[in-house]
Amino acid sequence: MRLADLTWPQVAGEVGPAVLAVPLGSTEQHGPHLPHSVDTDIAVALCEGLADRRPDVVVAPPLPFGASGEHAGFPGTLSIGTEALTHVLVELARSATDTFRRVLFVSGHGGNGEGLRAAVTQLRAEGRDVRFFEPRWTGDAHAGRAETSLMLHLDPRRVRLELAEPGNSAPLPEILPLLRAQGIRAASANGILGNPVGASAEEGRALLARLTDDLVAFVERTSDDVAAIATTSSDATAEGVAS
């Protein structure tokens, strides 16, 4: 169920001791062929998939802004930075834990990782049951085959496949120093790290199913573990710096 669709009496009377899944994304460039909402769309799809399989999960409205400073220089990118993101997540979870027994941040943007970890560490030190999950996949770091396939599955009308083209396909460790020092624009003129050519909706469907399985397994694994802090990080460690 979605929190945005519920009234407060419904939350009070029907939701019970639920988990609030908060989709955390970004508003940032994803090459000339993908919309700015890719990371948010993926996070929302994962949370909704989790809720479909667990009746104790309520999906919050997504937070579509994150730490995307590495994408500065590409028109349309909106970033609130790591410090502001940390503060927002801390205050959001403090409020949410007045109602929900657990808050689960599901982040589709690896650049949010530093702020996300700082927030969860602080919140858990306060005794709040707050976790986070970041999907893992191998392959292209940003706006490449994986994300293009996911979007072809989720919302093909918003994919301009005719504009898909290779970007910088060098292994991420090779270009990471440049990305950290000067941002993605210095490493890839079109904003792509990888090659989206060959992406397909079927590939995206299969990947989303696998990522949803990972999320469900994570929630089940940690459901009785009140001491652990989730440190599931991107294999899109690609996404970790680039997305």
- pLDDT, tens digit (0-9, with 9 covering 90-100), for 137-147: 988 989 999 99
Domain ranges of the chain: 3-142+212-242
Q: Are residues 190 and 144 in contact, defined by beta-carbon separation less than 8 angstroms?
A: no
Look at residue 243 in the predicted model and tell me its pLDDT. Answer: 59
- pLDDT score recorded for residue 233: 37
Is the pLDDT reported for residue 241 higher than 50? Answer: no
* Mean model confidence pLDDT for the chain: 91
What is the predicted pLDDT for the residue at 46? 98
pLDDT tens-digit readout, 106-125: 999 999 999 999 999 999 99
Question: Could you tell me the two tokens for 13?
Answer: 């009377």
Around Cβ 114, how many Cβ atoms within 10 Å? Answer: 15
pLDDT, tens digit, 9 for 90 and up, residues 163-217: 999 999 998 889 989 998 999 999 999 999 999 999 999 999 999 999 999 999 9
More confident residue, 34 or 228: 34
Q: What is the pLDDT of residue 15?
A: 67
| Averaged pLDDT, 101-106 | 97
Q: Is residue 229 over pLDDT 60?
A: no
> What pLDDT digit, counting tens, does each position of 8-40 carry?
999 988 766 799 999 999 999 999 999 999 999
pLDDT at 235 (0 to 100): 37
Closest CA to 201 of 135, 152, 148: 152
Positive or negative, the Cα torsion across 132, 140, 42, 84? positive
Percentage of the chain modeled with pLDDT above 90: 83
pLDDT at 227: 38
CATH superfamily of 3-142+212-242: Creatininase (3.40.50.10310)
Q: What is the pLDDT of residue 180?
A: 87
Confidence (pLDDT) at 5: 95
Instruction: Note if the pTM is more than 0.75.
Output: yes
The amino acid at residue 200 is S
pLDDT at 236 over 50: no
Buried-state track 205-217, b at ≥16 Cβ within 10 A, e below 16: eebbeebbebbbe
pLDDT value for 173: 87
pLDDT category at 240 given cuts 50, 70, 90 is very low
DSSP tag of 139 = S
Q: What is the pLDDT, as a whole number, of residue 231?
A: 41
